[in-house]
Structure 1
Amino acid sequence: MLNPQRLRVLQAVIAAGSLQAAARSLHYSPATVSQHMAELARETGLKLFVRRGRGLEATPAALQLAEQAEDALAALDRLARSAEDMRRGHSQQLTLASFSSAAKEWLPHVVAAVRQDSPEVIVEISLNETPAGRAPRPADLDVRQESLEAPQEHIDGYLRYSLGVEEFDVALPAGHRLENVEKVAVHELSEELWIDHDIFDTPATRIIRSACRAAGFAPNVVARLDDHYAALSLVEAGVGVTVLTRLALQDAPPNVSIRPLHRPQVQRRVVAHVRQDRGSSRPVAVALETLQHLAAEAGLRPES
């Protein structure tokens, strides 16, 4: 069996670019790092590094080994954390996954309610809306967004609970020509400069793009990023407009004007997926009940 510590050292050497740099980051001597790499090469029978000038370059085999070790090492880390939790008497865990605005506005209340009901529970939270956003373990409760135009998503091994339908609004810079209208028709944004708050093809992006197509135009995007707070900062600076859900606009800067959209209405469906084998546990039940209450409180309407 491969030595996990040597795999970690391999990853450190590749990330740092040299044995010496890895030794500094690991607080090892260069000789110790070199010895670990020699032993790993012997264990695997692979050539891990080749000389390039005065330095070393990782071979394709080393790069592949380091990449494939990622999941195994992460699993070992989780196992170590679980053992530590059990040692401290915290044997129960609740794993939540969510898109970012729900994680910001709802999950703090969910965690507080769960911990109040079951003080021994350890809660893990991860974001699920980007390709890199991968939960450390299968989520017990997974909050997702969907387009109303798309088929409902059903995940194997999970029960589906609709939390309701939420509206999108447009955020306008101070002094914008549409600032004094009660509602903004989507076609009125056809000549605007747009700030896209999502560099990935998430449901929110597809919903907004579909609404623009229905209004007869494609947005003129001048900035693209993966954080809606940063998008609002660009709106505040007068760079352009952005379209966000009402949940994501809770902390909009005071000098950014928020207006409802119509013709067409821009909406998303918010859903909680609960693991079937965890649905009867008390922490999951409390988390789901709290989410349903928060969604109603936020004005999400039941799907017709």
Structure 2
Amino acid sequence: MNWDSLRFDWNQVRAFLATVEEGSLSAAARALHLTQPTLGRQVAALEQDLGVTLFERVGRGMQLTEAGLELLEHVRDMGAAANRISLTASGQSQTVEGLVRLSVTETTAAWLMPPILADLRQHAPRIDVELVVSNTLSDLRQREADIALRHVRPTQPDLIARLVRTQSACFYAAQRYLDRFGPIDTAQQLARADFIGFDDQPRMIAWLNDFGLPITNANIRVRSDSFIAAWELARAGLGVTMLGRDLADRFPDMVRVAPDMPEIEVPFWLTSHRELQTSRRIRTVYDFLAEALSKPQ
């Protein structure tokens, strides 16, 4: 079906999006301040207009069908844009204020967030942002952060998450390392290379082994618990490391190695606590980030 040719009733689309985000009709109805029957009728009307089934019931929750997933790709940005338009039209983007704590990894904080937060400052100048920079998961339930950008989807039932982008990660080495070691065009050559290790070295080795690379401790001559430090060590010619392709393209001194190996898809889940979604300042930041991160960087 060609979704782009269809015209939607916004109330129906909003009901659909809320049900996706909240995980059930009852939770979505509470989030939109509607009765559950009213919201259910809006979702049903959208299904009838499109001639497809969007949700299947799984226990007490709702699971998207294939048609629902396809529709979601087309209308998710509509929700973020509508919220921004509403805030701007009412002047609320200028009056929403307060602190929002955002938990991100080092590479995200250093290379993705600065231009996005600069745009956020123009959109909502009275919101203050604190970046909680950590390569471990912040506990949103303990209020270590208001919003987190994670590479794994949270499993806690009281958290909501939105997949905002997927990044392709590859293996890279500095040209100076390749001049010394030789070309790394195949997986067999890559398996003999030096690797930059991370703090949890056994887990890293196990993951590389599962990926088809028989790496051992002997391959790892230097390691760090900092992703940015590991990248800089690789740039200094000390071995191979991984990074998202769109970020690595910013460093012309780094060369992708073993290019025929499959790329690793790294998801980005924008996560927040359900209760915090009723906060105007957090909702403003959450929707702004969702829209910004879904665009090519």
Cα RMSD of the aligned pairs, angstroms, is 3.5
Q: Distance in 2 between matches of 1:291 and 1:170?
A: 28
2:254 to 247, 253, 256: 256
Residues 190, 258 of structure 2: 8 Å contact kept? no
1:265 aligned residue (257, 263, 266): 263
1:222 Cα deviation after fit: 0.8
1:96 corresponds to 2:102: yes
Distance 1:227 1:123 in 2: 23
Q: Any idea what SS the aligned residue of 2:275 has?
A: coil
Distance 1:101 1:127, change over 3 A: same
- Say if 1:155 and 1:281 are closer, same or farther in 2 by CA, change over 3 A: same
Show the counterpart of 1:158: 159
Would you say the 8 A contact 1:100–1:127 is kept in 2? yes
Q: How many residues align?
A: 198
Q: Distance in 2 between matches of 1:248 and 1:223?
A: 22
Tell me which residue corresponds to 1:171.
172
Where structure 2 has 5 or more consecutive residues not aligned to the other structure, the ranges are: 1-94
Q: Is the 8 A contact 2:191 2:215 kept in 1?
A: yes
TM-score (norm 2): 0.55
Q: Which amino acid in structure 1 is aligned with residue 287 of structure 2?
A: E
Q: Which whole-Å CA distance do the structure 1 matches of 2:167 and 2:215 have between them?
A: 23
Query: In 2 relative to 1, CA 260–290 (structure 1 residues): closer, same or farther, beyond 3 Å?
Result: farther
Question: After superposition, where does 1:200-215 map in structure 2 within 5 Å?
Answer: 200=200, 206=204, 209-215=206-212
Q: State whether residues 140 and 274 of structure 1, in contact with CA within 8 Å, keep that contact through their aligned partners in structure 2.
A: yes
Distance 1:282 1:250 in 2: 36
Instruction: Check the 8 A contact 1:110/1:287 in 2, yes or no.
Output: no
C-alpha distance 92-257 of structure 1, shift in aligned 2 (>3 A): same
Report the Cα offset of residue 191 of structure 1: 0.4
Partner of 1:13: none
User: Which residue of structure 1 aligns with residue 19 of structure 2?
Assistant: none
The structure with the larger Rg is 1
Deviation of residue 187 (structure 1)? 4.0
Return the TM-score normalized by structure 1: 0.54
Distance in 1, matches of 2:284 and 2:113, equals 12
Residue of structure 1 equivalent to 2:60: none
SS of aligned partner of 1:230 = helix
Deviation at 1:291, TM superposition (A): 2.9
Percent identity reads 18
> What corresponds to 1:18 in structure 2?
none
Q: In the TM superposition, what is the alpha-carbon distance from 1:288 to its structure 2 partner?
A: 3.0
The amino acid of 1:155's aligned partner reads Q
Q: Is the 8 A contact 2:208 2:215 kept in 1?
A: no
- The offset of 1:247, in angstroms, is 5.3
What runs of 5+ residues in structure 1 fail to find an aligned partner?
1-88, 147-151, 300-304
